[in-house]
Amino acid sequence: MHDITYLDMLQLVRELKRFEGARIEKFYSLGDGVFRFKLSKRGEQQYALVVRLCSYVCITNLEEKSDSIDQFTAAVRKHVSGAMISSISLYNDDRILGITSKKGDTEFNILIEMFGKGNLIVTDRVMKILSCYVSHAYRDRSVRPRDTYLPPSTRSISTGDADFAEKLLSGMNNYKGKTALQSASRLLNMGSIYVSEAFKRAGLNAEAERLSEAEVASLADRIKEVASETQEGKVYIIKNDGKPEDYMLCRPSSKEFEVEERSGLLEALSEFYAIDAMSVREEKNEKVEELEKSIEKQLAYLDSVDREILENKKKGEQVYNNMVRFNQLIAYLSKERRATLEEVQERFPDLRILSIDKKTRRIKVEVDA
């Protein structure tokens, strides 16, 4: 599945608007950049808003809770638990989900960065950072507690610009050593999956180093077309062998995979969260199975050791019980040094004497265990 794009985020915010006025009951950190907000809204059921940094935001009924509370989770709960969501928007018109909430007269901002490695940040009303999942220090901004939150600067061009085609041509010509797809994707804040779709619709080679002015003009039209379709609210799940593999907000032109339409992006992304949750459970089950096999091997080894100890104990008891006869045997051999094995066996018929080594002065006698 592709990393979430700006166009995806626009659709998500439109769908998430319905949760304005909901209360944040609790916050969970599920590990690996996955977070869960328990929401409640008067007259409605409770909801679970799940975020996987850079991948998706969805509403789910799955109850995935963390077994432990770290310092970050405790800090976020302190600020947002019981707060009422007053607004949900894209912050700075970028891939930053902004959730403004109020607890009494105190206002907080939850900023979820869905680019790079992702981040979840809580600020006060004037954007002073109270807590953050990951601390960073960049050339033009820093994300650390007590700093003022600043979003990254953007240099993308918009399909709404009157001279969009000219800006696209100029920008793509400035990138050297990049493919046409890479150059266009860097200029456009829409995601390479949608730019790639525009290339396919225009019949252009995405791997070409340069495009002609006419080709860029054709590409610009298809980009506008794709961007416009993503605003219609339709979601297309791309499946491979019946399993969800990716999604798009416009119908893909490729006929290679099966495509199913969904009514909303939150609904569609919940399928991918369910797949993730299932894979985590399967991974845990595999680890449990490995542990169980390891325990079985250890128990089998301990059992064999116990049996060996018991056998040796029995042999020791037999040696002890026959100690008088063993001493008599040793005394006899010390006196009769030329005695053969047969003579000794005849002399001590009650002992199963197997061998006598006069050089090493060793006698092998078999005893019952």
Dump pLDDT digits (tens) for 145-172: 999 999 998 778 989 888 999 999 999 9
Residues 117 and 204 grouped into a single domain: no
Contact 201, 253 (CB under 8 A): yes
- Phi then psi for residue 121, to 5 deg, are -130, 140
Residue 357 above 60 pLDDT? yes
Residues 93 and 64 grouped into a single domain: yes
Helix, strand, coil in percent for the chain, rounding step 5: 40, 25, 35
Mean predicted confidence (pLDDT) in 334-346: 82
Domain end (from 244, 263, 282)? 263
What total of structural domains would you count in the chain? 3
The answer to the question of residue 274 being in a domain is no
- Give me the sign of the Cα torsion angle 252, 254, 257, 259: positive
The answer to the question of residue 203 being in a domain is yes
The answer to the question of residue 226 being in a domain is yes
101-115, 179-193, 244-258, 302-316: least confidently modelled range:
302-316
State which amino acid sits at residue 355: S
Residues 66 and 13 grouped into a single domain: yes
The answer to the question of residue 49 being in a domain is yes
Specify the pLDDT at position 274: 82
Whole-number Å distance between alpha carbons of 53 and 48 = 16
Provide the 8-state DSSP code for 2.
P
The answer to the question of residue 297 being in a domain is no
pTM of the model: 0.73
CATH number of the domain where residue 61 is located? 2.30.310.10
Residues 139 and 205 grouped into a single domain: no
Residues 235 and 188 grouped into a single domain: yes
Domain end (from 112, 143, 174)? 143
Domain end (from 143, 174, 192)? 143
Residue 80: which of 106, 98, 62, 57 has the closest Cα?
106
Residues 12 and 134 grouped into a single domain: yes
In the chain, what's the furthest Cα-to-Cα distance?
120
> Structural domain of residue 168, as residue ranges?
164-263
Dump pLDDT digits (tens) for 190-215: 999 999 999 999 999 999 989 999 99
Whole-number Å distance between alpha carbons of 312 and 142 = 70
